[in-house]
Amino acid sequence: MNQIIIIGAGLSGLVTAYELKKMGIPALVLEARSRYGGRIWTLKGEGRGTPLEMGATWFGDKHQHLIGLLLELGVRYFDQHSRGIALLESMSFAPAQRFELPESEEPYHRILGGSSTLVKALIGRIGEDNIRLGTPVEEIREQPGGLLITARGGKEYPCRFAVSTLPPGLLAKTVRFTPALPPEILGLMAQTHTWMSESVKFAVEYDKPFWREHGFAGTAYSQAGPATEIYDHTNFEETAFALKGFLSAGAAQLKEDDRREMVLRQLVKLFGLEAANYLSYIDWPWALEPFTHHNYNGYILPHQNSGHPAFSRPLMNGRLFLSGTETSPEFGGYMDGAVLSGLLAADRVALL
């Protein structure tokens, strides 16, 4: 029997496994996807190989749990570029307004080499042999002395305790519990917002940062869309260049070719004809990711029920613990919240 099963190899699950290993407590991580990292996902551009973030990207000095982990693992980070002229597009038929970005007292940071560098560092400490990819959990059942975790295909993993790092809403709708969880906790889980699940992220890779050459910061905000936010996504070494941002949620329903055409048209309007001469385009609608998003029963506000006190209490006779960034009492939805939830889960399990 396994001592601990951790469901999910995103940042929360990996931090939990890492902390438990440091305490000498063995744990096995089950991950539904064929990759590690969950909502951290760094891809390489097809041109200069620019690290392109399709998932979690930025953090600030206030995110001390994440920064502490980066320092412990020797993972470096750098400031997000934000110098120059920013743009505000309020109407599609009018030129964008220009304004100078002030020097930020608290700059936002990015991880050197991409956010997946942190994931790789954790995997190196945990060991790939302690993680099972392609193993979506379908049932959690109480049994004498522990729990029985059943994955797709009928593979069973008995354990004394389990930690779920799935978003609460996804957990409630995709995993069976035997016996069933109390209706009040299931209702709370179903009414908890899954951070980034409606996001459509995009990145356009270029041969050079032409926007900087014209005094632009690469920052733009738009109420006319389809790109609602745009930022400079140049790497630390300033050898690989891109513009990256968010598309409106409705863009997920369009074909990728149509999204690319609309984005490039908008970038040309904002930054000039040089924006049409791109090396690669990539985007990812997280609403189409079945191991992140599940349709809500009704309207859910951003961060709704994040960090709810009920998530800190174990379930199934004290055998099942809820973790993941949405359960964090601080900075729910962010990488820092994911790290804190992992630290808390490891401490709770270690006390048993």
| pLDDT single digits (tens) 147-188 | 999 999 999 999 999 999 999 999 999 999 999 999 999 999
| pLDDT single digits (tens) 187-223 | 999 999 999 998 999 999 999 999 999 999 999 999 9
Residue 206 pairs in a beta bridge with 241
Residue 104 has pLDDT above 70, yes or no: no
Between CA 304 and CA 306 the distance in angstroms is 6
Average pLDDT over every residue of 332-352: 95
Q: Half-sphere exposure (CA, 13 Å, Cβ side) for 333? A: 15
Between CA 61 and CA 108 the distance in angstroms is 8
The label of the residue with tokens 């960090």 reads 307
Superfamily of domain 1-41+115-193+290-352: FAD/NAD(P)-binding domain (3.50.50.60)
Mean pLDDT of the chain: 95
| pLDDT single digits (tens) 236-258 | 999 999 999 999 988 989 999 99
Determine the pLDDT at residue 121: 98
Between CA 193 and CA 141 the distance in angstroms is 26
Crossing angle of the two packed helices 116-126 and 11-22, in degrees rounded to 10: 30
Please give the model's pTM, rounded to 2 decimal places: 0.95
Q: Tell me the fold of 43-114+198-288.
A: Polyamine Oxidase; Chain A, domain 2 (3.90.660)
Determine the pLDDT at residue 249: 83
Residue 298 has pLDDT above 90, yes or no: no
Helix (H, G, I), strand (E, B) or coil at 149: strand
Q: pLDDT band at residue 345, thresholds of 50, 70 and 90?
A: very high
Cα radius of gyration rounded to whole Å, the chain: 21
Domain ranges of the chain: 1-41+115-193+290-352, 43-114+198-288
For residue 170, which phi and psi values (nearest 5 degrees)?
Answer: -65, -40
Give 198's contacts (C-beta < 8 A, 6+ positions apart): 249, 252, 286, 287, 293
Average pLDDT over every residue of 311-335: 96
Determine the pLDDT at residue 2: 81
